[in-house]
């Protein structure tokens, strides 16, 4: 009998249910007897012993459902060693729950912060297997994360819809796409949606160059301009500030986000009507796209294979179109950023897309 724990941590996304289904169906189809315990609301469930024994019925009909039926929450890694308000030692509590249930392995689905804690638990002696979940596609050690392609589809649909109203009214539209630190989502959705300007955190922008691009389009007969802007986009002036100085500026910013600040600046510099659209958490919601359904199912199946073989301490990733196992210590604490010199950026520029640099 193998006893497996499972939890989803951090921000939700499409295909979490799909990935868990992939793990469970593969385990249940194996010759070995298996019990799967689902922890509720991420690491909080592991800390406070909130779980339930899952059966095949729990994984039926969830292939196409977004979100996570186990629930999720954010448990910041930077405070994981600090006692909570209730005085509980979070790491000790997680280990206690693991050993109390006599688990053979804990399957953890999550992004960067989640993987830091997962690796910590591995260092504490627990058997861990992880799956790469994030709409940001910024996890180290994998070319792709599940949830990303579905989020690209949602953001692209938003940009597609903006095209017709922008063209009708001759406006400049800013579509703010999720992504605080990495610009993969904005870059891909911007290219897919035909954005004229793409601003991402990895390439600080010059507001004058952004304004120049807009003016050039209008001068050549284009009545509208669409900007795909990552929520973490940053100007060259702000990028030159120290981390402390930049945090202070953000704390005193009179605009709700960088997009609204950009809109005010561009309206003043260009004189055109500028509007902002923020699709927000719709990018995390809805059904997973077909790509993510297949991809997450494959990852889940391979994770189950590792468990059945007794191979622990790995994230199941994707490299060069093949599913691979990546040591957790190689993943934790690292971000996969967009390289400003990457071929996809070069090709976008050849298409006439401006990055404001």
Known catalytic residue at 136 = yes
Return the pLDDT at 186. 98
pLDDT for res 68? 97
Taking the domains of the chain in order of start, what are their residue ranges?
2-147+288-331, 151-284
The pLDDT of residue 169: 87
Instruction: Tell me, yes or no, if the two domains 2-147+288-331 and 151-284 fold the same way.
Output: yes
At 169 the three-state DSSP class reads: helix
CATH architecture of 2-147+288-331: 3-Layer(aba) Sandwich (3.40)
pLDDT at 254: 86
Mean pLDDT, 10 residues at a time, the chain of 357 residues: 96 96 96 94 96 96 96 92 89 97 98 96 98 97 97 97 90 96 97 98 96 93 95 93 84 89 93 93 96 98 97 97 96 95 97 96
Question: What is the chain's Cα-based Rg?
Answer: 22
Q: Please tell me the predicted confidence (pLDDT) of residue 309.
A: 96
302: Cβ contacts below 8 Å, ≥ 6 apart: 316, 323, 325
Catalytic option among 12, 58, 136, 292:
136
6 within 8 A of 58, measured Cβ to Cβ? no
d(CA 76, CA 116): 10
Three-class SS string for 118-165? HHHHHHCCCCEEEEEECCCCCECCCCCCECHHHHHHHHHHHHHHHHHH
pTM of whole model > 0.85?
yes
Handedness of CA 249, 254, 256, 262 (dihedral sign): negative
> Which CATH number does 151-284 carry?
3.40.50.460
Q: Residue 99: CA atoms inside 13 Å, Cβ hemisphere, count?
A: 10
């Amino acid at each position: 009998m193998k006893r497996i724990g499972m939890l989803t941590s951090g921000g939700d996304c499409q295909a979490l249910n799909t990935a868990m289904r992939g793990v469970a169906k593969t385990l249940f189809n194996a010759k070995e007897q298996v019990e799967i315990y689902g922890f509720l609301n991420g690491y909080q469930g592991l800390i406070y012993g909130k779980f339930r024994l899952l059966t095949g019925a729990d994984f039926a009909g969830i292939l196409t459902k977004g979100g996570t039926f186990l629930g999720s929450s954010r448990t910041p890694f930077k405070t994981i060693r600090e006692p909570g308000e209730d005085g509980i030692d979070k790491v000790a509590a997680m280990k206690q729950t693991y050993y109390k249930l006599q688990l053979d392995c804990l399957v953890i689905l999550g992004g960067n912060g989640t993987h830091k804690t997962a690796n910590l638990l591995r260092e504490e002696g627990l058997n861990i297997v992880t799956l790469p979940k994030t709409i940001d596609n910024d996890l180290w050690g994998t070319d792709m994360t599940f949830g990303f392609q579905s989020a690209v589809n949602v953001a692209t649909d938003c940009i597609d819809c903006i095209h017709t109203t922008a063209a009708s009214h001759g406006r400049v539209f800013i579509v703010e796409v999720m992504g605080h630190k990495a610009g993969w989502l904005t870059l891909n959705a911007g290219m897919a949606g035909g954005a004229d300007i793409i601003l991402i955190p990895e390439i600080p922008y010059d507001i004058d160059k952004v304004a120049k691009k807009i003016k050039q389009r209008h001068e050549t007969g284009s009545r509208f301009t669409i900007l795909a802007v990552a929520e973490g986009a940053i100007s060259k002036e702000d990028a030159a500030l120290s981390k402390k100085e930049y945090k202070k500026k953000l704390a005193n910013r009179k605009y709700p986000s960088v997009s609204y600040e950009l809109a005010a600046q561009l309206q003043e510099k260009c004189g055109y009507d500028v509007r902002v659209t923020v699709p927000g958490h719709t990018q995390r919601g809805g059904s997973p796209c077909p790509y993510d359904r297949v991809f997450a199912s494959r990852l889940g199946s391979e994770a189950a294979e590792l468990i059945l073989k007794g191979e622990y301490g790995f994230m199941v990733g994707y490299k060069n179109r093949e599913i691979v196992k990546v040591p957790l210590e190689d993943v934790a604490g690292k971000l996969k950023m967009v390289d400003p010199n990457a071929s996809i950026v070069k090709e976008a520029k050849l298409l006439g897309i401006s990055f404001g640099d």
